[in-house]
Amino acid sequence: MDKLDSRKEALLETLVREYVKTAEPVGSLHLARRAGLEVSPATVRNELAELEEAGYLVQPHTSAGRIPTELAYRYFVEHLAHHRSAGSADSGLSDVFGARAGAITAAKTLAAKTHECVFVSFGRDDVYVTGLSNLFSKPELIEREIAINLTAALDQLDEMVCGLESGTGARLLIGEENPLSNNCSTVYLAPTAGRRVGVLGLMRMDYEKVLNLLDSIKF
């Protein structure tokens, strides 16, 4: 993925953060102010048009602001997210790879901190899920079709979790990479053949917070 120049990065980072927070398209004037750019409105519009042409942004309606695409989230995670220093453990999460009771408690803590759905697997066909109410409280789920499609996808959650590959560090499946639904993202850890812990949410996920919380888990 090619690196963007500093002005485009500032606009893209600010737009992703604003949209994650509000779930509303972000207007150019508001975006320029939040990004701290002292440039003309015309310059901002030109920069946003170039980002849109490159596939980082879309404009849902002609008069509306813009929202990030799957590509924008990938760029944000790779180049713009702020990572905490290693070893900064988060209270309540260190037991997620311990005994079952501790793992369930830690999963509930993770769901509360991320405001997303969290899963922990203890082996094939043994997956604990919590935080579904977080997922279905998202404003996007007001649209009936989206809610129905997500509900149908969640029926396959056990199979998806069992199929997640092992590996070191947090792994991301954003949008089209996500086998459950291309409207969702999954960020997970898979340290052993039988254990998975992850966060499932819409693509409008706070990846920075999720990654930092997963990085704080000790096992």
Q: Which fold has domain 100-215?
A: Beta-Lactamase (3.30.450)
- pLDDT for res 28: 87
Q: With bands split at pLDDT 50, 70 and 90, how would you rate the model's confidence at 46?
A: very high
Burial 95-120, CB ≥16 within 10 A → b, else e:
bbbeeeeebbbbbbbbbebbbbbbbb
Q: With bands split at pLDDT 50, 70 and 90, how would you rate the model's confidence at 97?
A: low
CB 180 within 8 A of CB 153: yes
The better pLDDT of the pair 82, 68 is held by 68
Closest residue by Cα to residue 188 from 171, 211, 212: 171
Strand order in the sheet with 167-174: 127-130, 117-121, 196-202, 184-190, 167-174
For residue 150, is pLDDT > 60? yes
Q: Cα(213)–Cα(113) distance, rounded to whole angstroms?
A: 8
Long-range contacts of 36-39 (CB under 8 A, 24+ apart): 36/10, 37/7, 37/10, 37/11, 39/7
Of the listed ranges 85-94, 114-123, 144-153, the least confidently predicted one is 85-94
Q: What is the pTM of this model?
A: 0.90
Span(s) in the chain for CATH 3.30.450.40 = 100-215
Q: Cα(112)–Cα(109) distance, rounded to whole angstroms?
A: 5
Residue 156 burial (CB count, 10 A): 13
Span(s) in the chain for CATH 1.10.10.10 = 6-80
- pLDDT for res 178: 93
Q: With bands split at pLDDT 50, 70 and 90, how would you rate the model's confidence at 40?
A: confident
Q: Cα(27)–Cα(145) distance, rounded to whole angstroms?
A: 27
- pLDDT for res 89: 56
Kindly report the average pLDDT of the chain as a whole number: 89
For residue 92, is pLDDT > 70? no
- pLDDT for res 2: 83
The percentage of the chain sitting over the pLDDT mark of 70, rounded to a whole number, equals: 93
Q: Cα(73)–Cα(186) distance, rounded to whole angstroms?
A: 13
Architecture of domain 6-80: Orthogonal Bundle (1.10)
Q: Cα(171)–Cα(167) distance, rounded to whole angstroms?
A: 8
Which residues, listed in sequence order, are joined to residue 199 by a DSSP beta bridge?
Answer: 118, 187
For residue 42, is pLDDT > 90? no
Segment 98-105 shows an average pLDDT of 85
- pLDDT for res 30: 87
